[in-house]
Chain A
């Protein structure tokens, strides 16, 4: 096991010009139109079940960041894997502000993230990633900018990870001898 302390560096930013989080409100419609739209919405809702309300502003920002996958929500945080041109990285987005926050030292050009989880205060991220032909599980502590490798015992290949809200326990899917298993690991 190694513990790395990492220096501060600039995190990922996206262009926020014209970005306003929240639902897009229709403009320039009369009350009659709005009434008709409401009735239509109610009618469709009855046929199709409840409609989740898209968070359009944030979705547009995510779309501009390239492809995105493996979302994990906790508290006000959305962790995900985003990439453009085949180079993926872990992003941590403050959903309430609609902004990504820096993760100095977590992303590296020779690593391909596969799964990510975040705890409620956004301080701990668990990441499964491939590097140098190996798949590894790492724990990143954002306030300390520290990255810690979590060894699989008995040895195995991790794939997906989930974190408890307080960040003091993780569940990880591990391949051992052709069988997928789930390990629960308490974290100090």
Chain B
């Protein structure tokens, strides 16, 4: 009887979602914070999400599984942010920012701190985006004439590819391994 039960448990542990390993993305400050819009890098080493900072939605970047916060470059000044998306090694972070009365899709190259602005036609307002893990394509959900549409863009002439096996990026234009101010 015991053997049957043991075999049953082993069988169930292989297929039941209750056996999957779960964890919280980890604390990011004192107290409890709302955290939204999760985006994993292709290799799973980085997690981008949106938190509220001084009343404005702000993208943060955390190393996994440590939860250590990583620095961002010019992006950190263009809140509110929404819909972050990361490339494979996290070299590129794409996000929608607010610029005056308009929303704009931007991509930060964390290897050098360069910000690529991706203007859209005046009648298109970006809502959500997704950057291909290799950084060569971008899909943007826009609202045009009251209708949601996904539009695809080829970025291969703008960005170097970020492929599996590439080097991790420390961020904020820093060389990998260099200490970043304010990082935990």
Contact = CB atoms under 8 A, between A and B. Distances in A.
Interface stretch (A10-18, A32-40, A74-82, A102-110): A74-82
A160 B38 contact: yes
Given A51-B119, A62-B150, A185 B20 contact: yes
Interface string A139-180: 100000000111101000001111111101111110000011
Q: Provide the main secondary structure of the chain B interface.
A: strand
B40 A55 contact: no
Interface string B14-41: 1111101111110000001011111111
A172 to B, nearest CB: 7
Nearest to B136: A73
Contacts of A71: 128-130, 139-141, 150
Interface of A: 1, 3, 23, 48-55, 58-59, 62-63, 67-75, 78, 80, 82, 95, 120, 139, 148-151, 153, 159-166, 168-173, 179-188
Given A68-B141, A184-B47, 5 more contacts: A59-B149, A78-B139, A95-B137, A161-B38, A170-B40
10 contacts: A52-B155, A58-B152, A72-B130, A73-B131, A73-B133, A73-B137, A151-B18, A166-B44, A184-B47, A184-B65
